[in-house]
Amino acid sequence: MNGVKHTSSVVDALHHIEYAPHSYGPSRSLTIPRADTTNVTILRARSWSRRIPPPDSRASTPSQSHFRVHDDFHESKGFWSDIKTLRWMRVPSSSFKLLLIPVFLYGICEALAIRPNPFEPMLFISYPIADSAADDTRYAKGWLDLVFIGYHIIVFSFIRQFLVLKVIRPISIRLGIKKQTKLDRFGEQAYAMIYYGAMGVWGSFIMRVLPTWWYRTEYFWIDYPHWDMKPQLKRYYLMHLSYWIQQLVVLALKIEKPRKDFQELVAHHLVTLWLIGWSYGINLTLIGNAVFISMDIPDVFLALSKICNYLNLTRTKIAVFVVFFAFWSYFRIWLNMVILLSVWTQYDLMPDTSKRWAPPEGVWMLWWMKYQIFTPILLLLFLNLFWYYLMLRIGYRALTQGNTTDERSDDEDDGKDE
């Protein structure tokens, strides 16, 4: 009986070694006791004590390989190399080091009482108006604003990648998202929801203290030029411009995987930058603030509806989609048309003294500027209507098939997580 038992054990061991050879550590002799008490060494086998898969086996699955490649995409190649290759825009550790340099140098200059501090324009808005009221400081615009914008492109690069990679991704994994594509998309949309939510609230608070509060559009033009800005309006405007430039570079470097509507998205970014740059340059920041709010608030619900989709929250995503559709209809369609109507019908409310070309005085409004202002807002409305059409199709499918997949994006719903 003992001999049979030993033989069976050997067969089991050989079978396991044959089909899982990588589960064993260093080779050593395996001695098999025979029934006649004679020990015979019949082979050399690996120890049962260590079960370490070989390197090839550990990286053999497609998902693991995908994660390794993706991690390399966000891995630093050295600080100076990251700067030269613009890799710092997707490596948060490098962008953080880069944004700390001006802060450190600013602190040194402050400690040495160097005036003016050459690094101040990077960190703070410039051009306070000397004769403005003490309790209502106003700011003008100037070339140093470009320095502020450039620095905050770095700031937004760090904030975006840090939140996506270090905060949002671990949360999404804990929520059960495993596919790399969905992890990427979840991170993009969660960051978008945070950004647009913050800027939508901030922009609304700014509009609340302006004469244009809730789209009193006649004040876009009355008392033009509005060249003296409240500090929060100027800071808000320049940070928005920094964000959109950074987002355009994100598309150019393909930090985000291109969607089906990639060309429309690039067009949207270019038109947005056109609107922001021109409105800031020709002192139309009041109308710019109104356009920002109409864009930012509905985007919060767009991002939230997509997040619910990635989490397979079927009922919740349908409810959020309905809310999003209502917000998009009001903010991006109706309010955009209100702004366009104001440009077309209220343009002449500005003083006659402003209807001339005198850049040193902050006056730019010749007759043809009406069409220059009208055109980019109209293009933005066309893009919104294009996406509105896609949303109507999604709504129709939701009613007829129970499917609320956003057809603008690639690979967002290409199977369930495994």
Kindly report, residue by residue over 321-335, the tens digit of the pLDDT: 899 999 999 999 999
**Extents of the domains making up the chain:** 2-46, 176-182+199-401
Q: How far apart are the C-alpha atoms of 34 and 5, rounded to whole Å?
A: 10
Spell out the residues 6+ positions from residue 90 whose beta carbon is closer than 8 angstroms to its own. 73, 74, 157, 161, 253, 255
Is the per-residue pLDDT at 168 higher than 90?
yes
Q: How far apart are the C-alpha atoms of 306 and 380, rounded to whole Å?
A: 22
Q: How far apart are the C-alpha atoms of 197 and 329, rounded to whole Å?
A: 18
Q: How far apart are the C-alpha atoms of 163 and 78, rounded to whole Å?
A: 21
Compare 409 and 315 and report the one with higher pLDDT.
315
Is the per-residue pLDDT at 344 higher than 80?
yes
pLDDT at residue 362 in the model: 81
pLDDT at residue 315 in the model: 86
Cβ atoms of 306 and 406 closer than 8 Å: yes
Mean predicted confidence (pLDDT) in 159-171: 95
Is the per-residue pLDDT at 205 higher than 60?
yes
DSSP string for 339-358: HHHHHHHHGGGS-GGGSS-B
Summarised one tens digit per residue, pLDDT across range 11-31 is: 444 444 444 444 444 444 444
Q: How far apart are the C-alpha atoms of 282 and 287, rounded to whole Å?
A: 11
Summarised one tens digit per residue, pLDDT across range 89-137 is: 889 999 999 999 999 999 999 999 999 999 999 999 999 999 888 888 9
